[in-house]
Structure 1
């Protein structure tokens, strides 16, 4: 009886192993799952606003977030912030020149 149970257990373990690993002709291991991609990318046709950042959700991957999606979003944000900083600097410079031009006229 004990020998029968050991043989039955070995057959079950072997069958499960073949099913998981993929044994036999025409069968193979399970196909790789397609990784989830970023569903709500940042809008390409307009500047990013606070609502876009609040709505941005990165899909989870096997080990956290997909680095490619995070890198793309951070690169886009960095480029837009650089552009805005340059525009702010230009506007502040133009304002300073305008204020400086008005001061001598006020003292006359």
Structure 2
């Protein structure tokens, strides 16, 4: 009985190996093109939350394709740095405008007059 199971196992392994490798003129498993980003990030406008949520990275043999992940992370990092710089610029402009408003309110005050702050 053991010998029969051993022979059956060898036959099954050989059949699977021939099916995968291909025993004839043509390959049984055809070559496929690697997956690409189906819906890449838009280049003509800033990224939004919906763009990031809708992003689906293609999967390779060992996980996600490194080149695609690097491209996406580089783009997101650049967008975040640009937004951070813009926020800092606007906060500085706001602080300047507030300082100007406070100092200009003091200019119209008569000497000895109290402000109601």
TM range (shorter): 0.7 to 0.9
SS at 1:37 equivalent: coil
1:61 aligns with 2:60: yes
Alignment size in residue pairs: 97
- CA RMSD of the aligned region, Å? 2.5
SS at 1:35 equivalent: coil
- Rg bigger for which structure? 2
Q: Which runs of 4+ in 1 moved over 2 A?
A: 15-24, 26-33
Extract unaligned runs of 5+ from structure 2: 1-6, 110-117
Structure 2 counterparts to residues 1-108 of structure 1, below 5 A: 13=14, 20-22=20-22, 32-107=31-106, 108=109
Q: Provide the rounded CA distance (Å) in 1 between the counterparts of 2:47 and 2:99.
A: 34
- What TM-score, normalized by structure 2, do the two folds share? 0.68
Which structure is richer in relative contact order (CA contacts within 8 A, separation 6 or more)? Answer: 1
Q: Provide the rounded CA distance (Å) in 2 between the counterparts of 1:63 and 1:17.
A: 22
Cα deviation, 1:55-106, whole Å, max 9, x if unaligned, reads 0111211111111111111100000100111011111111111111111122
